[in-house]
């Protein structure tokens, strides 16, 4: 053995076994021996004295927006310090592979608010075009944590037919299916959609079903950000269940929340819908983050027709007074599809980041607050941000409900996902705090989940969804992706006021037995690699 972790309180990730004391031996990146208390002690050249700390499998972030951060920021303490050892990127139907030159430029503009690196930003060398080349880049460079990739349906549609709001032709649909198949052959674990984001939202169910048939044929899963989390949320969930079942494809519901005033207290209705489908044989999982506000871009609030054609067309529409007046009416009176069918409430929209430094004074204020300070209508303030920041502003949207958050996290198919956007001057604290917050707030303080249950939600359940047969449990033969934490002190350090503070009570994180976090400090180890779909 290379390493022995002595006197650990093992929380094995199964959700069934009670924690137990043991020495855990590691060799060649795997757990080789588990010696329970009372038996022979293990020895090795290196020892780590756990002194009763909880030892769990490394946490798996099922919904991450670290597509470029993994490459640009080798330290990546935002996730490593939480005990995350694997992230799933390529989320919400928009990412950077597969692309060509035209598509890459457009997608960089469209999601600069999520990931930075707008056109002209040289902080990342985009030396890949395919899914396989992106995964190879991760392997060549090494990263702080492991990463798995979802083929982004919106990017695939953009590549096959641009930003047009119309059904695909037979030839275009066939090309999209080929692109999804190629991504899965090259190692992607499934396909994502962002059905409130253009151009992915233009796809009808028949198109999504055909793409999901391709995903199912390769043993992947479908991960949709569905068409509404507000008005019509239950119908949108039911739609995704129907699409996946028609295609015979496993379904993983992204950030499965019930937001806005229309859905207060309605989580039991969602869970009943899922329970009926599960009882009928559907293969469904979901992820959530343990916070009430959401996070996206300000441009995402626009009606979909305003975004047709891509970012430059959107900015052209915003420059036209008549079109701008129409956009305002849809957003404030009708409820745009970008805002989930709910009329926008500007006092819930807090600016969390801007690309234009000249607009930094808006950060940390709601649009309504900034408008009042300027003596103008909130839409006027929002319009200025959209145009002067070139659609790059990110927002926190304060529309969630705590009772819904707690009800959904208790469900037997629930997993953890941060949905963490790392960009901006004041990002959502979930990017830095999701996993310690589950353990501190919802296990220790509120007792919503027991410690073994919660660890299972963050480890073995997501590993099973990803088809990983050697991760997600503390078990002999499994990968030594491990986290040591103190159940009595673990907590998120990040807050809405100080969103980049690191967590407390997570002193050690190992990937393949190598120390990524040691004594609470990030090491220079880059043990993370691309995790490819099992053949």
Give yes or no for residue 520 having a pLDDT over 70: yes
Q: Is residue 101 part of a domain?
A: no
Give yes or no for residue 534 having a pLDDT over 80: no
- pLDDT for res 94: 98
Domain of 339 in residue numbering reads as: 298-397
Q: What is the pLDDT of residues 296-340, one digit of tens each?
A: 999 999 999 999 999 999 999 999 999 999 999 999 999 999 999
CA distance 491 to 507: 12
Beta carbons within 10 angstroms of residue 476's beta carbon? 12
Q: What is the pLDDT of residues 372-403, one digit of tens each?
A: 999 999 999 999 999 999 999 999 999 999 99
Tokens representing residue 154 in the block: 């919106």
Q: What is the pLDDT of residues 449-503, one digit of tens each?
A: 999 999 999 999 999 999 999 999 999 999 999 999 999 999 999 999 999 999 9
495 phi/psi in degrees, rounded to 5? -135, 175
- What average pLDDT does the structure give for the chain? 96
Give yes or no for residue 408 having a pLDDT over 90: yes
Q: Are 496 and 430 in contact (CB under 8 A)?
A: no
Name the pTM for this structure: 0.95
Q: Which helix (H) or strand (E) holds 39?
A: none
Q: Is residue 387 part of a domain?
A: yes
Give yes or no for residue 30 having a pLDDT over 90: yes
CA distance 387 to 401: 32
Q: Tell how strand 482-485 and strand 394-397 pair up.
A: unpaired
Give yes or no for residue 39 having a pLDDT over 90: no
Q: Is residue 210 part of a domain?
A: no
Mean pLDDT for the stretch of residues 72-83:
95
Torsion of CA 117, 123, 128, 134, to 10 degrees: -80
CA distance 336 to 524: 46
Q: Is residue 302 part of a domain?
A: yes
Q: Are 67 and 17 in contact (CB under 8 A)?
A: no
Beta carbons within 10 angstroms of residue 29's beta carbon? 16
Q: Are 212 and 322 in contact (CB under 8 A)?
A: no
Residue 54: which of 16, 102, 20 has the closest Cα? Answer: 20
Q: Is residue 75 part of a domain?
A: no
- pLDDT for res 11: 98
Q: Is residue 115 part of a domain?
A: no
Give yes or no for residue 426 having a pLDDT over 80: yes
Q: Is residue 94 part of a domain?
A: no
Instruction: Give 263's pLDDT tier (boundaries 50, 70, 90).
Output: very high
Q: Is residue 351 part of a domain?
A: yes
Beta carbons within 10 angstroms of residue 127's beta carbon? 11
Give yes or no for residue 74 having a pLDDT over 90: no
Give yes or no for residue 535 having a pLDDT over 70: no
Instruction: Give 52's pLDDT tier (boundaries 50, 70, 90).
Output: confident
Specify the DSSP class assigned to residue 333.
I
Q: What is the pLDDT of residues 102-150, one digit of tens each?
A: 999 999 999 999 999 999 999 999 999 999 999 999 999 999 999 999 9
> Looking at the 3D structure of the chain, how many domains does it have?
1
CB-count burial class (<10 Å; 0-12, 13-18, 19+) for 96: buried
Q: What is the pLDDT of residues 167-214, one digit of tens each?
A: 999 999 999 999 999 999 999 999 999 999 999 999 999 999 999 999
In sequence order, the 6+-apart residues with CB closer than 8 A to the CB of 52 are 7, 8, 9, 21
């Amino acid at each position: 053995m290379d390493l022995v972790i002595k006197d650990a309180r093992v929380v094995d990730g199964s959700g069934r076994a009670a924690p137990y004391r043991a020495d855990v031996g590691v060799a060649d990146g795997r757990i080789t021996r588990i010696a329970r208390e009372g038996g022979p002690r293990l020895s090795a050249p290196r020892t780590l004295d756990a002194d009763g700390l909880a030892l769990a499998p490394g946490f798996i972030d099922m919904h991450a927006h670290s597509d470029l951060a993994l490459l640009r920021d080798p330290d990546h303490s935002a996730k490593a310090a939480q005990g995350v050892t694997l992230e799933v990127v390529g989320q919400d139907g928009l990412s950077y592979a597969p692309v060509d030159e035209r598509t890459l430029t457009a997608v960089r503009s469209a999601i600069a608010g999520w990931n930075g690196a707008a056109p002209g930003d040289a902080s990342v060398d985009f030396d890949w075009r395919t899914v396989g080349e992106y995964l190879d880049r991760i392997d060549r460079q090494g990263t702080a944590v492991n990463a798995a990739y979802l083929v982004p349906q919106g990017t695939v549609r953009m590549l096959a037919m641009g930003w047009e709001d119309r059904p695909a032709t037979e030839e275009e649909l066939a090309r999209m299916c080929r692109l999804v198949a190629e991504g899965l052959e090259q190692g992607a674990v499934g396909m994502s959609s962002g059905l409130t984001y253009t151009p992915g939202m233009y796809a009808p169910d028949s198109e999504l079903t055909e793409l999901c048939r391709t995903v199912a044929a390769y043993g992947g899963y479908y991960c949709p950000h569905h068409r509404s989390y507000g008005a019509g949320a239950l119908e949108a969930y039911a739609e995704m269940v129907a699409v996946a079942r028609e295609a015979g494809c496993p379904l993983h519901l992204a950030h499965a929340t019930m937001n806005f005033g229309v859905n207060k207290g309605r989580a039991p209705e969602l869970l009943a819908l899922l329970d009926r489908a599960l009882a009928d044989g559907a293969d469904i999982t979901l992820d959530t983050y343990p916070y009430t506000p959401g996070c996206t871009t300000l441009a995402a609030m626009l009606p979909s027709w305003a975004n047709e054609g891509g970012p430059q067309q959107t900015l052209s529409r915003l420059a036209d007074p008549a079109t701008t007046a129409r956009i305002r009416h849809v957003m404030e009176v009708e409820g745009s599809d970008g805002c989930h069918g709910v009329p926008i409430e500007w006092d819930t929209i807090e600016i969390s980041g801007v690309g234009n430094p000249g607009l930094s004074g808006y950060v940390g204020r709601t649009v309504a607050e900034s408008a009042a300070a300027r003596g103008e209508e909130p839409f006027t303030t929002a319009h200025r941000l959209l145009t002067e920041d070139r659609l790059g502003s990110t927002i926190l949207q304060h529309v969630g409900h705590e009772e819904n958050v707690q009800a959904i996290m208790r469900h037997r198919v629930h997993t953890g996902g941060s949905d963490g956007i790392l960009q901006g001057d004041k990002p959502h604290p979930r990017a830095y705090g999701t996993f310690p917050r589950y353990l501190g707030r919802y296990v220790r303080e509120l007792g919503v989940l027991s410690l073994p249950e919660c660890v299972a939600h963050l480890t073995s359940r997501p590993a099973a969804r990803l088809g990983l047969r050697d991760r997600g449990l503390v078990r002999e033969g499994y990968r030594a992706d491990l986290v040591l934490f103190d159940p009595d002190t673990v907590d998120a350090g990040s807050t809405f006021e100080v969103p980049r503070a690191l967590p407390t009570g997570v002193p050690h994180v190992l990937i393949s037995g190598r120390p990524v976090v040691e004594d609470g400090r990030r090491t220079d180890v880059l043990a993370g690699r691309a995790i490819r779909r099992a053949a």
